[in-house]
């Protein structure tokens, strides 16, 4: 009858686990009533998933008299029987052993379309064209062309780089992108352009795109931190620092233990390497580390560890538009 009533025990036996009825002493954690009368006394009432390690345990009584913690007028407080069930229940705080069962404790966020809404329009195109031309003129990098010609040449270089970057899932640094792709048709002094490339990249990110923090983001991040999750950001960007600056402007940078950027790692999502790098950074990071220190650590660590391996992939169209909510 035990075999019929507790088929799980038979499954355990078939899986190589051993079991036997306990003596019924005070250390039993469960007594299972049997159809023919009496009960099956058990000291264990759980199956521990492979890869987990119990770091403490306790037995929680299900006697109604022991449930003084029940909220007033709750179903538990109104229960009148002497015991909630036929057995005691065990509380087992567990941790997953390395290489064992995966437990989610880390959440990685994208920027555009996730933490923020991001889009461009004719107004932002006009603004970025004017600001870039003014900046270049101030740094002895004048192009000698009007706004329309400037934009057409710039946009052509952007499309060329975009096709290369997305098809290979790789990202170059700003000092490579701007002279080799974005401004390739302008015949400007390469060294001068490299010196200001990051400033151009940052200007592009905050002027060409209109950005707004999405509703309830701060509340969501706050709740996730309260629940003990480790939070990070992974973003495809052609700027080394603009994401850090934007997170600071939104007032949410301190929620994230790590910020991993394609411009730093050399890999673009969805290349698996950028996720692997991010997870390694998350494992190494410590809470309450200032963002400037995280930024420095990310750049120095990745530069010392990463080797770029081109990976062929068919090009995907990715027209930028307002991200859906």
* pLDDT reported for residue 29: 58
Surface-to-core class of residue 127, CB atoms within 10 Å of its CB (0-12 exposed, 13-18 middle, 19+ buried): middle
Q: Please, are residues 62 and 88 in contact by the beta-carbon 8 Å criterion?
A: yes
Distances (CA, A) of 160 to 171, 173, 177: 13, 15, 10
Question: Could you give the residue ranges of the DSSP H alpha helices within the chain?
Answer: 2-5, 7-14, 75-78, 122-138, 147-168, 174-177, 190-195, 197-207, 217-226, 242-250, 262-265, 272-284, 291-305
* pLDDT reported for residue 9: 65
Secondary structure (3-state) at 141 = coil
* pLDDT reported for residue 228: 87
* pLDDT reported for residue 73: 75
Mean pLDDT per block of 10 residues along the chain (325 residues) reads: 55 70 59 62 55 51 67 72 51 47 78 91 95 96 95 96 95 96 95 96 94 94 91 94 96 95 95 92 63 43 34 30 30
Joined together, the tokens standing for residue 277 give: 């790098």
CA-nearest of 293, 279, 256, 277 to 171 is 277
* pLDDT reported for residue 77: 74
Secondary structure (3-state) at 63 = strand
Cβ atoms within 10 Å of 229's Cβ, excluding its own: 13
* pLDDT reported for residue 14: 76
């Amino acid at each position: 009858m035990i075999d019929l009533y507790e088929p799980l025990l038979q499954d355990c036996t078939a899986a190589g686990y051993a079991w036997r009825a306990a003596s019924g002493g005070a250390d039993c954690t469960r007594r299972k009533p049997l159809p023919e009368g009496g009960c099956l006394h058990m000291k264990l009432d759980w199956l521990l998933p492979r890869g987990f390690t119990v770091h403490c345990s306790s037995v929680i009584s299900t006697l109604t008299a022991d449930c003084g913690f029940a909220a007033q007028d709750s179903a538990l407080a109104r229960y009148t029987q002497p015991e909630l069930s036929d057995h005691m229940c065990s509380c087992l705080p567990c941790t997953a052993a390395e290489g064992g069962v995966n437990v989610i404790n880390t959440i990685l966020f994208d920027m555009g379309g996730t933490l923020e809404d991001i889009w461009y329009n004719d107004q932002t195109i006009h603004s970025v064209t004017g600001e870039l031309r003014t900046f270049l003129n101030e740094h002895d990098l004048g192009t000698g062309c009007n706004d329309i010609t400037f934009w057409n040449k710039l946009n052509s270089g952007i499309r060329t780089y975009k096709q290369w970057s997305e098809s290979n899932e790789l990202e170059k640094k700003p000092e490579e992108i701007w002279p080799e792709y974005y401004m390739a048709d302008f015949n400007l002094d390469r060294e001068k352009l490299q010196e200001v490339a990051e400033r151009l990249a940052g200007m592009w990110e905050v002027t060409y795109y209109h950005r707004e923090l999405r509703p309830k983001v701060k509340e969501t991040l706050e709740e996730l931190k309260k629940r003990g999750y480790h939070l990070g950001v992974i973003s495809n960007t052609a700027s080394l620092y603009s994401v850090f600056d934007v997170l600071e402007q939104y007032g949410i940078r301190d929620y994230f233990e790590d910020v991993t950027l394609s411009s730093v790692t050399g890999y673009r999502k969805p290349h698996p390497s950028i996720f692997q790098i991010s997870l390694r950074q998350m494992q190494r990071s410590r809470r309450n580390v200032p963002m400037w220190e995280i930024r420095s650590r990310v750049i120095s660590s990745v530069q010392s560890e990463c080797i770029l391996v081109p990976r062929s992939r068919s090009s995907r169209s990715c027209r930028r538009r307002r991200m859906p909510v």
